[in-house]
Amino acid sequence: MKDFALEKWFGKYEFAVETDIGSSCIRPFGLAEFLKETGAQFPTDVSLGYRDSKGSLSLRQTIASRYEGATEDNVLITIGASEANYLALRVLAQEVPSAVIQFPAYQQLYEVLLSAGVDVSRWQMSIQNGYRPEAAEAGTMLGQGALLVITNPHNPTGALLEAEDLNCLHSAVAARDGWLYSDEVYSGLALAGQPRPVTAWRDNGRTICIGSMSKSYGLAGSRIGWMVGPRHIVQQCWGLRDYVSICPPALSEWLAETALERGAEIEARNRSIIDANLATVTEMLPLLGPKFEFVPPRAGVLAFPRINTEMTTWELCSLLAEEDSVLLVPGEVFERPGHVRLGLGGDPEALRHGLKVLARRLV
């Protein structure tokens, strides 16, 4: 497989800069804040031994209850969504001759398939139409038995597939006896006044959904993710993960269960962070000027503005990191030069500072 461009960028700069305005998570909890927000007591009686390799029964049941028709046997707990993606796509690569992926995309979602010899086509999202997905277009690209890979809400553009769009995609996939794969790690991040994004899950034997505690719950360090899918796919992934990580971490499963039980409070906290950051960007737009072409996200914590400048966005983001200690993600890591990924989940004052620095570079 090729180097993972986004993760290489973060590996170089994420912990070397003072200000991060490119990351894709909601502001992470500290342990003390998490306990205060949830009203939970830190468990002192949790065994630190090996856990059920499928994930604890109670956590799988909690997650299954969020997907109509699913049971704990449809759920596998993984080490973050990244392990879920790797396992599921490795298994699905043996089932499908081709795939269509919503693009730009998190590189893992297509690189794993390409490395296994799957023919991958790209369903392009464009700033020209505000990154609005044309679901009917994706349907026309699907071959017989193909896999359709979506991210909803979308990374890096903030686009959103609504219930009508998902119904259209399911119809197109079913007509070709294909598969629908939905990465939904941002699904808990609705904007103020908007409903929670709907899941693409259908109990039809041809749908796989991915979730995580990282993006929507501020618990990236817990490294808990999951897949929900047909039992035979989950069983194959369970067998494959025996060679990778064996089982989830004990304390992390407790964190996940606690956060899911108090989801309403955490989502309210997250909405306030996103709202403050969107207000900050709106306020800063005149300073950023015409070289910064911003499309507000429809959900999630990401935007993918176009940058109109003589230097490449790789050069721009390198200058910001190395000379200004500001982390912004260049579009080149998404194979979309001329854009940057902007994170709206962090501290509003940090975002304000980072955008001021960016504005000076765009003069």
- How far apart (Å, rounded) are the C-alpha atoms in residues 305 and 269? 25
Sign of CA dihedral 132, 272, 352, 9: negative
Query: Per-residue DSSP letters for 57-86?
Result: HHHHHHHHTTSTT--GGGEEEEEHHHHHHH
Can you read off the two tokens belonging to residue 248? 């989830």
What pLDDT is stored for residue 193 in this prediction?
Answer: 85
CATH code of the domain covering residue 275: 3.90.1150.10
Tell me the pLDDT tens digit for each residue of 101-158. Answer: 999 999 999 999 999 999 999 999 999 999 999 999 999 999 999 999 999 999 999 9
Give the start-end residues of each E strand in 91-136.
Answer: 98-103, 119-124
First to last CA, the chain: 39
Same domain, yes or no: 159 and 243: yes
Local structure of 257: helix, strand or coil: helix
In a domain, 35, yes or no: no
Query: Per-residue DSSP letters for 10-38?
Result: HHHHTTT-SEE----SPPPPPHHHHHHHH
Residue finishing a domain among 246, 261, 276:
261
CB neighbours of 358 closer than 8 A, spacing ≥ 6? 21, 288, 292, 320, 326, 328
pLDDT < 70 stretches in the chain: none
CATH code of the domain covering residue 67: 3.40.640.10
Same domain, yes or no: 124 and 155: yes
In a domain, 22, yes or no: yes
E strand or H helix that includes residue 272 = helix 263-288
In a domain, 38, yes or no: no
Same domain, yes or no: 12 and 61: no
Tell me the pLDDT tens digit for each residue of 324-342. Answer: 999 999 999 999 999 999 9
Range of the domain at 190: 43-261
